[in-house]
Structure 1
Amino acid sequence: MARPRTVHDVAAHKLCTGCGVCAYLAPDEIRMVDVLDHGRRPLPVLPIQPSRSTHTPGTSGAASALRCCPGVRLEHETSTPAPGEIAELRAGWGPVRAIWEGYAADERIRFAGSSGGVATALAAYCLEQAGMAGVLHIGARSDVPYLNETRFSRTREELLAAAGSRYAPASPCDRLDLVESAEVPCVFIGKPCDVAAVRMARQVKPELDARVGLTIAVFCAGTPSTRGTLEMLRQLGTPDPQQVASVHYRGNGWPGRARARLVDDPPGQERTLSYEQSWGDILQKHRQWRCYLCADHTGEFADVAVGDPWYRPTGDDPGRSLVLARTERGVRLVEAAIAAGALVLEPMPARILPASQPNLLSARGAVWGRLVTLRAAGLMTPRLKHLPMAGMWWRALSARQKFQSTVGTLRRIRRKRLRVRAELIPYGERSAPSDEQRSPVS
């Protein structure tokens, strides 16, 4: 089975998550770009100036960054529940110490958020009452609003401006230097793979570890490529993306509608699609390949994870969030935010988590079948340690689902051209692929 030598190999083999941690670790060697059909990907910066890169002397930053790459490695220290964890949830959902359901006390944040606005409200509490310096997260680019950029927010209003899910490629870890250089600890908000990358980076960068005050993960079903957003915009009646003034994927109610506004549209006018149309019919079909191999959709490496309580019927509800505290730090800060009136949450029993995300155990089992098939075919796969999957493949999947996870993967090898190196050309800079980009992966 092929093994990556650098993060560029990870991207070429279509295992990159797009988190951007490699660009943080080797800023003079790696830049993150948007690739239309793949997502955010690392490309070399030339000429290389290793004086600022934080890799081991004698090795390239692209090789050294592998040790923090969630595309090729996700590991818990153990799969055994620690004291204080909810033991019955450990195998399928990772460490969970407490579960709540509720919403942001600030009605503006609750309304703008994708569910109950808890991630934004908790981050605002950390800024205003817990003495933290800023929040590293993502938001829409001001010049190209259907693309994302990394932001470092210092106020509630800055956080509110970026509230709501962004179902498009993002690399929040590429600016972890802003956290590292802060005078006091900061908050990080990202997808589960982003938070896992932060955790690994903290293990090799003590100065970063000292400045991460809280990590918040948002539940994730996969990252669609920019091609997905462009298709969504087309179906919204906006065929020319250069005329787009704003794009929102959810929010303004739960789950909310996808919304786009053109530069010439009258104030208040928006073109909309339902969540079922935007995510279900369009965006989820454009997810990057690594998301099909993901065993952590609920932020197992975070202090706090936030998602949707899908066991509830949706409609005109302003939104509620499911909140998991995974560490003692997470429990402490959520409880403090409740006591301060920033969050309106009520404790929930363990059964609410699988009821809220009913498909994730079978999805985790299906990953095991895909990994076994890919390894048998000699293709590169991520190393997932202490994230149990095999038992779920046997117990949670029907015979048909087992068949799809194995034989279906063989078909995907051909359909998704997994034996061919990914063509990584920055969006807007199309050119003929090089010989290397045409060649099979090895």
Structure 2
Amino acid sequence: MRLDIYGQMKPAGARSWLNRRTMPLAASCPFSPDAEDEDALAGRHFPEACGRDPLIGRYEAAYVGHAEEGEFRGEGSSGGLVTWVAAELLRRGLIDGIAHVAPSSTDGDGGPLFAYTISRSVEALRQGAKSRYYPVELSGVLRTIRSVPGRYAVIGIPCFIKAVRLATAQDPVLAERIAFTLGLFCGHMKSARMAESFAWQMGTAMEDVAALDYRVKSPDRPANWYRAQVMLNDGTTREKDWWHMVDGDWGAGFFQNHACNFCDDVVGETADISFGDAWVEPYSSDGRGTNVVIVRSRELHGIVGDGVAAGRIALEPVDAGFVAATQAAGFRHRREGLAFRLTWWRAGLTPRKRVQASADGISARRRMTYRMRYGIARWSHRVFLVARLLRWRRFYLMWATAALSTYHGLAYSRGPVGRLVERLGLAGAEDGH
């Protein structure tokens, strides 16, 4: 896997290999129509799960809360529970290493800012805390797991965990050695160019960036007020709120990977345990960060219960509806939006999804929103590439500003522009939010 000209991970190889269909790959790619879907995988791994929900899948229990112990909460982007659970697996000797994404040592060489690594101590694991909205790939750590005996856990977004499940079904060595999977709720994958764009908007070039923190944390600010920080090679730092970036509106789709248009798993339905941000009040206003957690493995449910009983983590039980509400926008885009997007593809290779192609009941305004997101995602890669080649940052920044303004004005405005859209008959009777 290599970063392409758009800063996205793509397979690299001889044309004869790229054009040749192989069943092992067809059965292990999470977007392949020949691969098992999330329902089938979850049914095989969690056959006795006591709960089932059409949005969050099979589960033993769901919670909202945070880590109380040590600095886990302060060091994480949210409530610190991802790192706490991973550290607890290491402490108990249930695993020998954990595969997770951590900062890379760039040294101004233009290499990737983040990559998968395997940590074998709690201290090393904590160095990789926090969310990374950056393209990565698993092949290196899977080769290590195959070659170095032991028990491992893997942390990843839904498609990565699904890929691990599909790989273990074909590879008995991986099946034996990967003991736990920890999933992360996901909106979509960004390209490496979003990091570069953020650097541009903070007045620096990517080659001068030594490190990037996508979500600088402050207890005095609501958790959903994202603030990015770059550390430069000279040791200085620069910060800027996402909402002051021309492409900082996550839902608009800037730099989204095209494959994400075909994803219907928001919460990592095939993982033993999954974590997300509690994007509902009062939790979204708590700058310390709060997790929502879905537990599917009974063994991990026991570990989580022990942590609560000892006061090391603070959790309150919630139902599936609460979890879905915390990710309402993601589910709307991945279910209703996916159903609409699937009507655009009539032939060729289309992933086999659990959502059926349909535009029924979708208002004109919502259809406009989905089309505009698709267009912004598609063209942001291309416009940014032109700006890079021309060394003309302002070209991209002007385009992104106009695109975002149009998106907000036509798709969401409740002011004069929105009323004009409705008068023109472009919006249906539904609310559209």
TM-score, normalised via structure 1 length = 0.73
How far apart are the structure 1 equivalents of 2:62 and 2:344? 35
Alignment-derived partner of residue 344 in structure 2: 373
Q: Aligned partners of 1:369 and 1:388: how far apart in 2?
A: 10
- Answer whether contact 1:164 1:251 (CA < 8 A) is retained: no
Distance in 2 between the 1:277 and 1:342 partners? 37
The reply to whether residue 77 of structure 1 matches residue 48 of structure 2 is no
In structure 1, what is the Cα distance between the partners aligned to 2:22 and 2:103? 28
Q: Tell me the CA shift for residue 66 of structure 1.
A: 2.1
* 1:190-209 map, 5 Å: 190-209=156-175
Q: What is the SS of the residue equivalent to 2:274?
A: strand
Render the CA deviation track for 1:46-78: whole Å, top value 9, x for unaligned. 999xxxxxxxxxx97966322100132450228
When residues 403 and 329 of structure 1 are mapped into structure 2, their CA distance, relative to the original with a 3 A threshold, is farther
* Separation (CA, whole Å) in 2 of partners of 1:413 and 1:237: 23
Among residues 50, 67, 72, which one is paired with 2:27 in the alignment?
Answer: 67
Q: Whole-Å Cα distance in 2 between the matches of residues 77 and 219 of structure 1?
A: 19
Equivalent in 126, 134, 137 of residue 89 of structure 2 = 126
Deviation at 1:182, TM superposition (A): 4.2
Alignment partner of 1:250 out of 192, 215, 232: 215
2:366 paired residue among 390, 401, 420: 401
Instruction: State the alpha-carbon separation in 2 of the partners of residues 40 and 83 from structure 1.
Output: 36
Shift of 1:155: 1.1
TM-score by length of 2: 0.75
Separation in 1, partners of 2:332, 2:92:
40
Cα deviation 1:77-106 (Å, max 9, x = unaligned) = 28999654334xx21222222111111233
Name the CA shift for 1:61/1:159 in 2 (closer, same or farther; >3 Å).
Answer: farther
Structure 1 residue ranges, 4+ long, deviating more than 4 angstroms after superposition: 45-48, 59-63, 78-83, 339-342, 388-391, 402-405, 411-417
Cα distance in 1 for residues equivalent to 2:342 and 2:22? 25
Counterpart in 1 of 2:194? 228
Which residue in the other structure is 2:297 paired with? 327
What does residue 273 of structure 1 align with? 240
Amino acid of the structure 2 residue aligned with 1:276: W
Of the structure 1 ranges 251-260 and 165-174, higher mean CA displacement relative to structure 2 is found in: 251-260
SS class of match (2:153): strand
> What secondary structure sits across from 1:298 in the alignment?
coil
Once residues 274 and 414 of structure 1 are traced to their aligned partners in structure 2, the CA distance between those partners, rounded to angstroms, is 21
1:310-349 CA distance string (max 9 Å, x none)? 0025446211111001333442343344446543322123
Match among 154, 174, 177 for residue 211 of structure 1: 177
Runs (5+) with no aligned partner, structure 2 = 381-387, 390-433
Aligned CA-pair RMSD: 3.6
Q: Deviations over 1:214-269 (max 9, x none)?
A: 1011111111111111111111221x212112111114343452110112244xxx
Q: 1:361 aligns with which of 325, 331, 335?
A: 331
Q: Which amino acid aligns with 2:26?
A: L
**Residues 365 and 389, structure 1, Cα contact 8 Å, conserved in 2:** no
- Choose which of 177, 180, 198 in structure 1 pairs with 2:146: 180
Q: 1:287 aligns with which of 256, 267, 277?
A: 256
Aligned equivalents of 2:66 and 2:7: distance in 1? 34
Distance 1:61 1:186 in 2: 30
In 2, are the aligned partners of 1:91 and 1:388 still within 8 Å (CA)? no
Taking structure 1 as reference, are residues 369 and 115 closer, same or farther at Cα in structure 2, changes over 3 Å only? same
Q: Which has the higher helix share?
A: 2
Find the counterpart in structure 2 of residue 308 from structure 1.
277
Q: Which of the numbers 99, 116, 121 marks the counterpart of 1:136? A: 99
Percent identity, please.
27
**Deviations for 1:345-370, whole angstroms, at most 9, x for unmatched residues?**
22123321122112133211211221
Following superposition, the deviation at residue 186 of structure 1 comes to 1.1
Q: 1:111 Cα deviation (Å)? A: 1.2
Spell out the pairing of 1:9-48 with structure 2 (5 A cutoff). 32-44=1-13
Displacement of 1:145 in angstroms is 7.3
**Quick one: distance in 1 between partners of 2:297 and 2:87?**
20
2:268 aligns with one of 282, 286, 299: 299
Alpha-carbon distance change, 394 to 114 in structure 1, aligned in 2, over 3 angstroms = farther
More displaced stretch, 191-200 vs 282-291: 282-291
User: Match of 2:203?
Assistant: 237
Matching residue's letter, 1:328: R
Report Cα offsets for 1:134-172 as digits up to 9, x if no partner.
000111211257622110001111111111111110113
CA contact 1:120–1:159 (8 Å) conserved in 2: yes
Aligned to 1:109: 72
Are residue 349 (structure 1) and residue 319 (structure 2) matched? Answer: yes
